[in-house]
Amino acid sequence: MPGRAILAVALLAMLLPQALLTAPLSADDGMLVVDLLPRRIEVDSSFTGSTVILFGVKSVPGDIIVTLRGPEAPVVVRRKRRVAGIWVNRDAVAFRDVPQYYALAASRPIEAIMETEALDRNQIGTGHILLNTIWTRTADEIASFRVAVHRARERDGLYASEIGEIVVIDDSLFRATLSLPANVPTGEYVAETILVRDGEVLNRRESRLSVEKSGMSAEIFNFAKGQGALYGLIAIAAALVAGWVGGVAFRKN
């Protein structure tokens, strides 16, 4: 029903105008319009986590899956072994391009939307994220290290353990709410929205989100990493002054 879709687009445009300004409709891509709010998250010293709302309109029937991936970085996984009674890091496997954050939302259970093979191909679900090793090892050795990456990220709340819900209104408007924990890594995030029908991807959209450190803590962090020598001198000066002031203050009492 094109009339309903137009109505939905109009409604969306009215409510949140930037959706249409930044994602102009073209003939081919018209079946999926998506935007993200907010586009930029600032992590300051009082940051306790945040939510991102992804909303959009689809003009054809089908299921919606949304993934949000954090910045990628190489990760080393180490396994402890007991050496002389003490647990020591012994074996290590390095993975390249591990997303530091991963969340997923779907309009129905993902297994009902797509075959496992397609989930793997599209890297949907934490179990389907592609993890390539940097050093070659045998496959079964690596499996336990690969699981360890997921477990560590899940424990830190960085890989959502549950699949989020997507609210679909009138089979055209949809909305997904994804949450970012307090310890969310900074960097560029990519939200991918895919429209699926009969197990086939009909259309996909990428939206970007940037998570940045802000405020004093960010400045201190960047300063400490960028200009270690100057930072070191300032830290020492601060310590000298603090100790001296403390000593003087209490001597007069």
Q: Which residues bind another protein (CB under 8 A)?
A: 44-48, 73-81, 85-89, 92, 94, 100, 144-145, 148-149, 151-153, 155, 182-183, 216-218, 220-221, 224-225, 228-229, 231-236, 238-240, 242-244, 246-248, 250-251
> Of 21 and 135, which CB lies nearer to another protein in the complex structure?
135
> Of 198 and 250, which CB lies nearer to another protein in the complex structure?
250
Residues 92/77, Cβ–Cβ less than 8 Å: yes
Burial status of residue 90 (CB atoms within 10 A of its CB: 0-12, 13-18, 19 or more): exposed
Instruction: Quote the CA–CA distance of 10 and 148 in Å, as a whole number.
Output: 47
Look up residue 4 and give its two tokens: 């309903």
**Whole-number minimum distance, CB 161 to another protein, in Å?**
16
**Whole-number minimum distance, CB 104 to another protein, in Å?**
20
Of 231, 221, 151, give the one whose Cα is nearest residue 185: 221
**Whole-number minimum distance, CB 209 to another protein, in Å?**
20
> Of 171 and 231, which CB lies nearer to another protein in the complex structure?
231
Q: Phi then psi for 29, rounded to 5 degrees?
A: -90, 5
> Of 25 and 92, which CB lies nearer to another protein in the complex structure?
92
Specify the DSSP class assigned to residue 31. Answer: G
Which helix or strand (DSSP H or E) is residue 98 part of? strand 86-99
**Whole-number minimum distance, CB 74 to another protein, in Å?**
4
